[in-house]
Amino acid sequence: MDPILSARRYLIPFRGTLLPQIFTDTLVVGTGVAGLRAALAAAQHGDVILLCKRAYDESSTNWAQGGVAAVVNADDSVDAHRSDTLTAGADFCDDRAVCTLVENGPRVMGELEHWGMQFDRGKNGDVELGLEGGHSAARILHSNGDATGKELVRCLWRRVNSTPAIRVFDSCFALDLLTPAEAPGSPCMGAITHHHRYGLQMIWARATILATGGSGMLWRETTNPPVATGDGLAMAFRAGAQIADLAFMQFHPTALYVAGASRALISEAVRGEGASLIDRNGSRFMQSRHERAELAPRDVVSRGIMARLAETGETYVHLDARGIRNFAERFPGIATVLEKFELDPATDLIPVRPAAHYMIGGVRTDLDGRTNVPGLYCAGESSCSGVNGANRLASNSLLEGLVFGERAGLACVEMRDTANAWGVTAPSSPMQIVSSIPDSDRGMLDLEDVRSSLRSAMWRNAGIERTGSRLRDATEMFDFWSRYTLDKIFDDPAGWETQNLLLIGALITRSALWREESRGCHARADFPETSDAFHAHDLWRRGDSEPTLQPVDSTEPRIIAGAPN
Catalytic residues: 298
Q: Which helix (H) or strand (E) holds 269?
A: helix 268-272
Which secondary-structure segment (H or E) carries 239? none
Burial of 199 (0-12, 13-18, 19+ CB in 10 A): exposed
Give residues with Cβ within 8 angstroms of 384, minimum separation 6.
243, 244, 245, 360, 361, 362, 363, 364, 365, 537
Q: 369 — phi, psi (to 5°)?
A: 80, 0
Specify the DSSP class assigned to residue 290.
Answer: -
What is the distance between the alpha carbons of residues 513 and 308, in angstroms, rounded to a whole number? 26
269, 149 contact by CB (below 8 A): no
Give 3-state DSSP helix, strand, coil % of the chain, rounded to 5: 35, 20, 45
How far apart are the C-alpha atoms of 456 and 459, rounded to whole Å?
Answer: 5
Cα dihedral angle (408, 79, 391, 105), rounded to 10 degrees?
-40
How would you label 84-109 residue by residue, b for 16+ Cβ within 10 Å and e otherwise?
bbbbbbbebbbbbbbbbbbebbeebb
Total Cβ atoms within 10 A of residue 439: 8
| 8 and 429 Cβ atoms separated by less than 8 Å | no
User: If DSSP codes are grouped into helix, strand and coil, which group holds residue 30?
Assistant: coil
CB atoms under 10 Å from CB of 348, counted, come to: 15
Sign of CA dihedral 200, 206, 210, 211: negative
Rg (CA), the chain: 22
Count CB atoms within 10 A of the CB of residue 6. 11
- For residue 271, CA distances in Å to 132, 163, 258, 441 come to 7, 39, 20, 54
Distance CA 259, CA 173 (A): 32
H-helix or E-strand containing 243?
strand 243-244
